[in-house]
Every structure is written in C-alpha cells, then in structure tokens.
Amino acid sequence: MIIPSNGQMVHPNLKNDFPIEMGRKEYQAPGPILKKHWHEEFMIFYIEKGNAVIHCNAQSIPLSAGDLVITNCNDIHYQENRGNHLVEPYILFDLASLLSPKDVCQTKYIAPLLQGRLRFQNKIEGDNELIRQVLELINQYEEQEYGYELLVKAGLYRILALLLQRYAMTVPDTIKNRQQHLLLPVIQYVEEHYDQKITLHGLAAMANMSPPHLCRLFKSITGMPPIAYVNYLRINAAMALLQEHRLSIGEVALTVGFNDSNYFSRLFKKYKNISPAAVVKS
C-alpha cells in the first residue's frame, strides 16, 4: 500500500480483475497505525485481539476485542493501537466490482453506497452472525480453493445485505447542510484566488475531506466540480479583460491563471462558443 502526500491510500493489488484483498494484520507497539488517509475502497475489519481507537471523520471511536469496524468509501481515518498486541483480520474491496448490468441491486443498493448517499455506522458490537460471515469469508479467500472467487463475491453480497438490513443509514439533510456550510470557505477561497494555482487535492485538504467527497458536495452547491468552477471563473474574468482590448490574448491567459495560451483558447471557446481572437476583433 502507498500513502502519497494527498492522503489517498493506493492498493496496487486492487487494480486487477479481482479487486478484493483480505488478510490479517498484527501490530506489536502502541501508537498510531499509518497516518490519516482515505481510500475509495470499502473496508471491514475485526478486532480479534487488543484495544484500539479509530479516528474517523473527526470522531474518535474506542475499539476492543470482538468489535467489527466499517470504513465507508472515502472516510478519512487513521487508527491507534492502545495495547501491546493488536490483531485485525480485514476485508478490503472495490464496491464498484459488485456493480451488475443496471438492475435493482445496482440502483437501490450499490450506487447509493458509492455515491455517499447511504453509509454504514463505523462500529458494530455483538453481531455474532455478521462476524462469523466475515471470518468465514476471509478463510475462503486465504485457502483459495478452486472456485473461491465465486464464493468470495457471493459472500460479499451476503455481508452487504446484512449491513444494509441492520446498520445502514441515509446521510441526513442536517449532515449535508453542515458539510455544505463547511465548504463555503473553500468556495470563497476559489472565488478570490482563481487566478492562482489551485488543485483538487489542495482544496480537499483545506476542507478536510477526500477529493471524491469534496467533488460531490461542491457540485451540489455550485452545479459543477471544483476545477470546472475554477475554469468557469477564469474564463468569465478573461472575457471581461478581452473586451477591454488592453491586453493580448497571452497576457489575458496569464492574468487569469493559465500558463498555456493554446489551452486557454480551446477552453475559452468551449465555455463561450467564441474564440478569444474573435472577441478581440469585435
């Protein structure tokens, strides 16, 4: 696994035609486990032995032996070992791999999970049936007998069904509104600094959100993703400058934040249905 500076954990093993990984991790020393990160994959892990705390989306959740833990897609999290020996069997998989040709399973269950409209509580206690299903699935994956891929995929559907029946929750409007309120300073920053270098990962770090989560929220407020909104502001400012006939096209491009005047011209025509040169001549 790789955690670059933007905080997105990348699992090279999950970029194949069977994007599922299972195993058992052990930690011998107390303290933080990895740094704050997020990943697009869905994760389930079980506290087989020891005590820990998971810090997930600004909440600190104590964990002890027997607890099952869910990290939803794009949850920002890290974990601390609170003892000398922590043992965690885990399942990590790409939810998108469970998508089927468009049917009720996709539209009613998988898509809402991928889109963040539906999520599971992070800590599950005392659900012996669910824990048994998780541990059996990990064993099947590790044994890898012929046909195990079919058993694993069927098992994931069964586990998701139990989670949906018992621990699913729609994202309430109050949480959406609070998140949107937290996003307003980011939008204000973009509107005031659109002529400077702005990256999606930089904006996500500013909002303490994963980039996919930021994109969804940003679009719900502005109607477009963050970088598209930056370009929209830049092109509008460029139009005003071009109409003043004081600067060349290259100078206008640089002034509003584009280093490449050819790219600026292409994007300008895409947004305004007219080339910068035609505006200058008008």
Q: Give the CATH number, domain containing residue 120.
A: 2.60.120.280
Tell me how crowded residue 194 is: count the other CB atoms within 10 A of its CB: 19
Is residue 1 domain-resident? no
Q: Are residues 64 and 87 in the same domain?
A: yes
Give the range of the structural domain holding residue 18, as residue numbers without chain letter. 12-170
pTM for the full predicted model: 0.67
Please report, for the domain that includes residue 247, its CATH number. 1.10.10.60
**Which pLDDT score, from 0 to 100, does residue 15 have?**
67
Q: Are residues 204 and 117 in the same domain?
A: no
Name the nearest CA neighbour of 93 among 67, 116, 73, 112.
73
Q: Are residues 45 and 59 in the same domain?
A: yes
Name the nearest CA neighbour of 150 among 142, 159, 141.
141
Is residue 2 domain-resident? no
Is residue 3 domain-resident? no
Residues in contact with 4: Cβ distance below 8 Å, sequence separation at least 6, in sequence order: 10
Mean pLDDT along residues 225-231: 91
Mean pLDDT along residues 58-65: 90
**Rounded distance between C-alpha atoms, residue 173 and residue 87, angstroms:** 37
Domain end marker among 170, 200, 229: 170
Is residue 252's pLDDT more than 70? yes
